[in-house]
Amino acid sequence: MDEEVTGTELLERQLEALRAENAELCSQLSFQSSLLDHAHSAVIAIDLNGIITHWNRFAEKLYQWTAEEAIGRNIMDTVIPEGQSQLAQEITAEIARSGFWAGEFRAARKDRSTFLAFVVDSVVLDKDGVLAGIVGVSTDITERKQLEQRLWQSQKIESLATLAAGVAHDFNNLLSAILGNASLLQDLLKGVVPAQKLLNNLVAASEDAAGLVQQVLAYAGKGKAILQPVDLSRAARDARALIQASVPEQVELQWELKEDLPPIHADPNQIQQVMMNLLLNAVEAIGKNPGCVTVRTGMERIDKPFVQSSLMAHNLAPGDYVFVEVRDTGCGMDEVTKARIFDPFFTTKFTGRGLGLAAAHGIVTGHNGALAVQTSLGRGSVFQIYLPAASSGGD
């Protein structure tokens, strides 16, 4: 017969079982915590008062707070930037109501710089099914959004260019018929002064329209180009001679033109059109205030990281490129304006000036180059044209 178990022994056995169960639970929690620490997303848990109770290693990397600094703080004082408190409270209320929320949210780092994050929030329930807190998983999607922007911009320009080229070719055919018939009528009606005057006006208007067609084709990268070796520094000097007389006194022009640049294969007239466009835009951006426009040429080795990071240069092949840079101290552009500057007929001026930068972009693209822009409101703009050096072909 088994020996009788005393109350003390029974209590010790129960305590031992609880210790074993607790050790198993701690082991599971440690394993789960280790999994969260190895996740490539920030995992943050808060209680019902908004106090942070868990902060994984990726959250340390993403938000710049260590776990020791973050745990115990209110979520509003860590990752929520100024001006987002109301939105954060609305999201919290939605999570409490539906148990889940996912979307884009501008979050803050410890230094209060912000970034765009994709966040998935879910409720945490206790063993009785009662709301105990919220756990959120967040990732930085800044690079992804930039890539989407580059892709969208590229597709938009390509679509517009295809449409523009088709319309231009059809319109050019109609203009050819109009000009041909007008020329015949001029011969037939020689000596009829009123008719000759009207026909001359018709021919002049048709020729202007033909010039517009060439601008549209240039925007589409389909313009007729007569390629020959071009020295980009010499082209800049030619543009300087043409523009100098029209530059207001308060605008200073500075020229930093590198000698002995390798040539580019380009249509000199089209390159001059691009340079004049950028120079005139830079001068007009300064307005009536004193300012400076700096034109610089040189050569640069384009590598893959540059190609991947540039909004407008993502189609370049790595290689040696000759560049011209036009920098101004003018008004600059906000992000909304910057996103539209290569749209055909878009202008910030009171009256339109034609295709402008859209044609310039098309010409550069048609020469296997790229036109990049850096700008911010009130801090001026920098336009850079990259064209493959004839010696390397952009390979």
Question: For 178-203, what is each residue's pLDDT tens digit?
Answer: 778 877 887 777 767 677 777 777 77
For the whole model, what pTM was predicted?
A: 0.50
Per the structure block, which two tokens stand in for 360?
């310039």
Predicted pLDDT of residue 82: 84
Q: Which of 12-16, 204-208, 243-247, 283-287 has the highest mean pLDDT?
A: 283-287
Q: Where are the domains of the chain?
A: 39-140, 145-219, 228-388
Task: For the domain made up of 228-388, give the CATH fold.
Answer: Heat Shock Protein 90 (3.30.565)
Q: How confident is the model at residue 257 (pLDDT cuts 50, 70, 90)?
A: very high
**Phi and psi at residue 270, to the nearest 5°:** -70, -40
| Residues of the chain above pLDDT 90, percent | 14
Nearest residue to 285 (alpha-carbon basis) of 344, 242, 338, 339: 338
Q: Would you say 388 and 300 are in contact if contact means Cβ atoms under 8 Å apart?
A: no
For the domain with range 39-140, which CATH number is right: 3.30.30.10, 3.30.450.20, 3.30.365.10, 3.40.640.10? 3.30.450.20
Query: In 3-state terms, what secondary structure has residue 355?
Result: coil
**pLDDT tens digit sequence for 60-113:** 999 999 989 999 999 999 999 888 888 888 888 888 888 888 888 899 999 999
Residue with tokens 């915590």: 33
User: H or E element: which one contains 375?
Assistant: strand 370-375
**Starting at the edge strand that comes first in sequence, how are the strands of the sheet with 42-47 ordered?**
52-55, 42-47, 131-140, 114-125, 100-108
Q: How confident is the model at residue 273 (pLDDT cuts 50, 70, 90)?
A: confident
CA separation for the pair 78, 375 (Å, rounded)? 31
The three state secondary structure string of 219-234 is HCCCCCCCCEEECHHH
**pLDDT tens digit sequence for 285-331:** 888 889 999 999 999 887 766 665 554 555 677 888 999 999 999 88
The mean of the pLDDT values for the chain is 78
Beta bridge partners of 385: 324, 371
CA separation for the pair 337, 161 (Å, rounded)? 20
Q: Which of 23-37, 177-191, 253-267 has the highest mean pLDDT?
A: 253-267
Nearest residue to 280 (alpha-carbon basis) of 239, 318, 220: 239
- One-letter amino acid at 4 equals E
Q: How confident is the model at residue 162 (pLDDT cuts 50, 70, 90)?
A: low
Predicted pLDDT of residue 25: 47
| Residues 130-154: b if buried by 16+ CB within 10 A, e if exposed | eeebbbbbbbbbeeeeeeeebeeee
